[in-house]
Amino acid sequence: MSQHNTNPAFTGGGILIEAAELHIVSLPLITPFVISNQTLTDKTFPLLVLKGEGIEGIAEAVMDQIPDYLEETIPAAIAFLRDVLLPRIVGKRFASPYELEPILAPWRGNRMAKAVVEMAFWDLWSKSLGLPLKAALGGVRDAVDVGVSIGIGSIDVTLDRIAEAQAAGYKRTKLKIAKGHDVALLDAVRARYPDIKLTVDANTDYGLEDLALLRRFDEFDLDYIEQPLAFDDIHDHAQVQAALKTAICLDESIRNAVDARKALEMRAARVINIKVGRVGGFAAARAIHDISAAFGAPVWCGGMLEVGIGRAHNIHLATLANFTKPGDTSSASRYFKRDIVNEPLEAAHGEMPVPKNGAGIGVTLDRDYMKTVTSHFEMICP
């Protein structure tokens, strides 16, 4: 079936959102993923389907069950979506994703919950136009450069995982680090791989009191050090950046384009990680992309261990021009034995092709398999 809208009732006067499906889906991870403050053994996420004009817009939300990466949680997001956001959207018409802004903007925080609504509508809207999401966003590439993110593990296991990533042709290796799991690891990795493009992600594990330790990271020719300090800090990162040769990259603490401007103005970072879920949707992601370009700061597309729906959104986003560093959207098969989308999202030679099975995000739900991994389902109607 063509994803292009052929419904004669569609007048171009906006897409009527007839209903929303809200699911919670859970897929086991092939190997547990360990970062500085959490171990994930499965990937559990809300999945939203907006239905209108005979088509479906789909997105997955990136908050975890508990507030480990940022403040949002799945139970709170489900309540906010069910009770606040979706009732204000279902039964209404929207001519473009920008028309959602007045509905999303008044509420504080909850960017991941807002993002899932906005992203699902971008998918629906681009499908209604018969365009790949990439084209609706203004992307310029047919494939995006990608690297791997390797969770915390022993030095031996880490070296093995780097060997696999190198064999697969990934363009950058990002190592999760934490206090006590840093310099010795980097020594061993650089001894074996002196020349690979290497970065580290501390997920907020360090403080200004660790400045002397952080300065030692300059020995390892890292492309950048991601989020060494607190999730809600920008200011103190400027002190770290001033003391180091290596670029700082901010992830957790960039919530929107204003944060990105402040961080770049005060030289708290030279690189920005953009996650569309973290920043509240594509409009904000693009604004951060644009302000970073204006400062001459490269950006890259982060990941949250998404399954195929979120991966597809990420790939389309990363086709924008200033995504000049490899992103985290590696092959889905590194994390999941079986995905809930029909199209395999596999990188080759460190490049992830833009999925293009139909318009919009270019991947389709495997509804039969999804049913078997869904723990919660509700339908929001007008």
Known catalytic residues are: 176, 275
Cβ proximity to ligand OSB: between 124 and 234 the closer is 234
Question: Is residue 149 a contact residue for ligand OSB (CB under 6 A)?
Answer: yes
Which residue minimizes CB distance to ligand OSB?
303
Q: According to CB under 6 A, which one of 60, 63, 69, 100 is a site residue for ligand OSB? A: 69
**Least distance from Mg ion to the Cβ atom of residue 90, Å:** 34
Q: Which stretch binds ligand OSB (CB under 6 A): 97-105, 138-146, 301-309, 364-372?
A: 301-309
C-alpha R_g of the chain: 20
Give all strands (DSSP E) within 219-263, no chain letters: 225-226, 248-250
Asked whether the beta carbons of 304 and 62 are under 8 A apart, the reply is: yes
Neighbouring residues of 372: CB distance < 8 A, sequence distance ≥ 6: none
CA distance 300 to 208: 26
For residues 304 and 319, the answer to whether their CB atoms sit within 8 Å is no
Binding track, positions 194-213, relative to ligand OSB; x by CB under 6 A: -------x-x----------
Taking CB under 6 A as the binding criterion, the range among 50-58, 182-190, 242-250, 302-310 that sits at the site for ligand OSB is: 302-310
94 binds, among ligand OSB, Mg ion, none (CB under 5 to 8 A by kind): none
Q: How far is the CB of 192 from Mg ion (least distance, A)?
A: 24
228 makes contact with ligand OSB (CB under 6 A): no
Angle formed by the axes of helices 111-128 and 282-294, to 10°? 100
State the nearest-atom distance from the C-beta of 289 to ligand OSB, in Å.
17
Tokens 């990466």 belong to which residue? 69
Q: How far is CA 78 from the centre of its chain?
A: 19
Measure the CA–CA gap between 186 and 235, rounded to whole angstroms: 27
Rounded to the nearest whole angstrom, what is the least distance from the CB of residue 70 to ligand OSB in the complex? 9
- Please state the closest distance from residue 302 (CB atom) to ligand OSB, in A: 5
Task: Name the amino acid, one letter, at 132.
Answer: P
Print the binding letters for residues 233-272 with ligand OSB: x by CB under 6 A, - otherwise: ------------------x---------------------
Measured from the CB of residue 335, what is the shortest distance to Mg ion in angstroms?
Answer: 16
Of 53 and 328, CB closest to ligand OSB: 328
Q: Which stretch binds ligand OSB (CB under 6 A): 77-85, 109-117, 284-292, 303-311?
A: 303-311
∠ Cα 188 192 194 (to 5°):
100
The strand order across the sheet containing 55-60 reads: 55-60, 38-52, 19-35, 374-380
Return the number of other C-beta atoms located less than 10 Å from residue 95's C-beta: 12
Q: Per CB under 6 A, does 24 bind ligand OSB?
A: no
What is the separation of C-alpha 203 from the centre of its chain, rounded to a whole number of angstroms? 15
Among 147, 280, 298, 303, binds ligand OSB (CB under 6 A): 303
Which tokens in the block code for residue 152? 């915390």
Binding site for ligand OSB (CB under 6 A): 35, 69, 149, 201, 203, 251, 302-305, 328, 330
